[in-house]
Structure 1
C-alpha cells in the first residue's frame, strides 16, 4: 500500500475542520452532530473519526484555531520595537478583531467556545489557560508602557494589562451582538478615556 503523505493527511484534517467550522457557524455547537460534520465534509464515517474521535476533539481543535491567530498578533504587539503607545496597541488589536468578526469570522466561534466551556471542564481548563496567556501579553505591554513613561511609575502592570485586554472582547462582543460601535468610534471613546482627547494621532 502506498504511504499517504503528510501533506495529504494535513489537507484531509483541514477539510474536516473547515466542514465543522461551517456547521458550527451555521447551527451552533449543540445543534451540530458528528453526522452533520461527516455530511458537510463529504467523507466517510471512518475517515472523519480517524482524525477526530468525538465532537469534543473537533470543538477543541476549532478553539485552538480561533485562538492561535490572536495569540500571534498579541505576542507581536508585546514584542514590538520600539514599544507602541497603548492606544496604538489597541488600534492594531482591534484591526485584527475586525478581520475576524464577519459572517465567517473565527471570533463568532469564540463566543460559542466560551459558552461550551461553562459545561465542559476540560474545555474550561483550555480556555482559562489560553486567556491567561492573552492577558499576560497585555501585562507585558503595560509593563513596557510604564518603563517608557506612558504609565505612572507606581502603576500596577497586572491591573493595567488586565483592563487593556478587557477592552478587546468588550469590543467584539458588542460588534457581533449589536453591530455597533464601529472600530473608529470605539477607539475614539477609548482615547478620550485614556488621554482626554478623541483625536490622538494613532492608526485605526
Structure 2
C-alpha cells in the first residue's frame, strides 16, 4: 500500500480532532464514545484507532492541540515591544481566545470547561495542563515586568502576584463567556482599567 504523506496524516488528525471537539461539546467527555467520534469524522474505525488508540489518548491530544495552537497566537502578544498596559494586553489575549475558540458547530471555550473538569480525575491530563499554565503564567509575569519598565505599573507591585491575577481574569473570561455568552474583550479591558489603582509617581 502507498505511504500516506505527512500532510495527509496531519489532515486526518485534524479531521478526527474536529469530530471529537464537536462530540465532546454535544455529549460531554464521558458520554461521548469512540463510535460517536468515528461516525462524526467520516473515517473508518481502523483509521481513527491508528491515530488515537483510546478515548483517553484522544482527549489528551484534543487538549494539547488546542493549548499549543492558542499559545502560538498569544506568545507574540506577550513579547510585544513596547509592552502594552495590562488592560490592553488582557483585551488582546481575550480577543485572540475569542477568534481561536469559535469554530463551526462548536466553541472550544465550552470544551475547555470539560477539559478542566476531566483534569481533576486524570493525572496525566492534569500534569499536561499544569505545565502549560505555569509556563503561560511565567510569560505573563515577564510581559508585566516590561509593562512596569514602560511605566504602566508601579515597580513596587509583585510581578508574580500580578501575573496570577491576570491569568485568573483570562480563565474567568473563558468561563463567563462559555456560560453567559455576554462578555466582550473590550469590557474586560475597561473593567481592569477601572479596578486598577492610579499610578503614583511619589
More displaced stretch, 113-122 vs 87-96: 87-96
Task: Answer yes or no: is the 8 Å Cα contact 2:101–2:108 preserved in 1.
Answer: yes
RMSD of aligned alpha carbons: 1.7
| Alignment correspondent of 1:128 | 130
**Cα distance between partner residues in 2 of 1:85 and 1:12:** 41
Task: Answer yes or no: is the 8 Å Cα contact 2:141–2:160 preserved in 1.
Answer: yes
**Matched position secondary structure for 2:81:** coil
Shift of 1:73: 3.1
Shift of 1:84: 1.3
- TM-score, L = length of structure 1: 0.88
| Alignment correspondent of 2:58 | 58
Shift of 1:157: 0.9
Structure 1: runs of 5+ lacking an equivalent: 197-204
Match of 1:144 among 133, 143, 146: 146
Which structure 2 residues correspond to residues 30-45 of structure 1 after superposition, within 5 A?
30-45=30-45
Shift of 1:100: 4.1
Match of 2:155 among 150, 153, 156: 153
Which structure is richer in relative contact order (CA contacts within 8 A, separation 6 or more)? 2
Cα distance 1:3–1:98, how it changes in 2: closer, same or farther (>3 A)? closer
Which structure 2 residues correspond to residues 47-196 of structure 1 after superposition, within 5 A?
47-100=47-100, 102=102, 104-194=106-196
Cα distance 1:20–1:86, how it changes in 2: closer, same or farther (>3 A)? same
**Cα distance between partner residues in 2 of 1:171 and 1:2:** 47
Shift of 1:30: 0.7
Structure 2: runs of 5+ lacking an equivalent: none
**Cα distance between partner residues in 2 of 1:70 and 1:187:** 20
Task: Answer yes or no: is the 8 Å Cα contact 2:109–2:175 preserved in 1.
Answer: no
Task: Answer yes or no: is the 8 Å Cα contact 1:142–1:161 preserved in 2.
Answer: yes
| Alignment correspondent of 1:201 | none
**Cα distance between partner residues in 1 of 2:48 and 2:60:** 15
Cα distance 1:100–1:2, how it changes in 2: closer, same or farther (>3 A)? closer
**Cα distance between partner residues in 1 of 2:15 and 2:185:** 33
Cα distance 1:101–1:9, how it changes in 2: closer, same or farther (>3 A)? closer
**Cα distance between partner residues in 1 of 2:16 and 2:101:** 22
More displaced stretch, 178-187 vs 67-76: 178-187
Q: 1:122-153 CA distances to partner (integer Å, 9 max, x unpaired)? A: 11101111111111111111111222222222
Aligned length in residues? 196
